Amino acid sequence: MTPTVGDLSDARQPSRAASPPTSRVVHIVQLLAGANQPALTLAEIVRQTSLSRATAHAIVAELTEHGWLSRDPATGKYGIGPGFRALARAAADADHLDRWAAVAAHDLCGRFSIPFFVARRSSTDVVTLAAHAFPPHLAADSEPHPWLRNGSRIRIRPPICREFVAWDPAEARDAWIAQAAEPTRTRLRMILDVIAERGYSIERMTDDHVAIIDALNSLDTMSENLRSRVGDLLTELSVIDYLPDELDAGAREGVPVVTIGAPIFDHTGRVVAAMVACPNSTLDVADLHSIADATRAAAEEISAHLR
């Protein structure tokens, strides 16, 4: 939005609230969320906000219903509730996570001279690229990484984003696996167990890996029946991660790797983000382990900050 050049006196005028009902809600939340603010009765809230009793009662009842306020049944007083505290903590963690992860990505990029990015869980089944770092010899819009853009969204669908699923409860893992084609489900279960044990996922490099990721992200535009059929086909076309013996078998000729993703946990133990290395090349197994160990260590350090 471009500011308008005009009379400076107009610019100094206080802005009017576009939504009086919203302003009243904000007023009550700000009142009760103040530092060292004690809980208040409805009558005290009415006095301090100059709202009518009916309006104040309707607002605090709705905020209490959503967990933003809590009411002590013994005293009838209202204070900030667990829902608001969780939201405030999540917002604070989000800010810290982005800052810490961006610094770590740049440090790792300088150390290994390959791109790194941070993927954040933006909803139950979507991750968003929140930060990335590219070495000087590789521009951000270079052909090998056309999908690596801040703000890019990737669906947590089989077989990708495994590092976001491997530590989920059994029911969530089963629900995710159930979205995959039947012939791939046994391998997916094995791979999730391997990822949880070693601490990171490895995305294999194939000629069509970019096209497969783009196709998976476009499934929401299809009908349910077609989405299921195309999703199954894409999963079957994917070679999913590496089992330990497959890494051993590749020790002589090298291991083709697109990405290595290590989970970042919040204070509840939930995977909220991932630090991801992008070698996009065939690596010696020793080099793969070196990059993977450093990526995992960076993710663990960020997780420790969030606990």
Q: What is the pLDDT of residues 180-227, one digit of tens each?
A: 888 889 999 999 999 999 999 998 866 555 455 555 555 555 566 655
Q: What is the pLDDT of residue 59?
A: 94
Q: Do residues 113 and 164 both lie within one domain?
A: yes
Q: Do residues 45 and 185 both lie within one domain?
A: no
Percent of the chain with pLDDT over 90: 44
Distances from the Cα of 72 to the Cα of 39, 76, 285, angstroms: 9, 5, 59
Q: Do residues 72 and 204 both lie within one domain?
A: no
Q: Do residues 197 and 94 both lie within one domain?
A: yes
Tell me if 32 sits within 8 A of 25, measured CB to CB.
no
Sign (positive or negative) of CA dihedral 298, 301, 303, 305: negative
Q: Do residues 179 and 238 both lie within one domain?
A: yes
Q: Do residues 213 and 265 both lie within one domain?
A: yes
Q: What is the pLDDT of residue 106?
A: 94
Q: What is the pLDDT of residue 97?
A: 81
Within-domain flag for 113: yes
Q: What is the pLDDT of residue 249?
A: 83
**What residue ranges of the chain have pLDDT lower than 70?**
1-19, 35, 89-95, 139-151, 205-239
Distances from the Cα of 12 to the Cα of 7, 9, 252, angstroms: 9, 5, 71
Q: Do residues 36 and 171 both lie within one domain?
A: no
Domain range for 45 is: 18-80
Q: Do residues 170 and 256 both lie within one domain?
A: yes
Tell me if 157 sits within 8 A of 125, measured CB to CB.
yes
Sign (positive or negative) of CA dihedral 266, 269, 270, 275: positive
For the stretch 156-190, what's the b/e string if a residue is b when 16 or more beta carbons lie within 10 angstroms of its beta carbon?
Answer: bbbbbbbbbbbbbeeeebeebbebbbeebbebbee
Q: What is the pLDDT of residue 46?
A: 93
Pairing of strands 255-265, 201-204: antiparallel
Domains held by the chain: number: 2
Within-domain flag for 251: yes
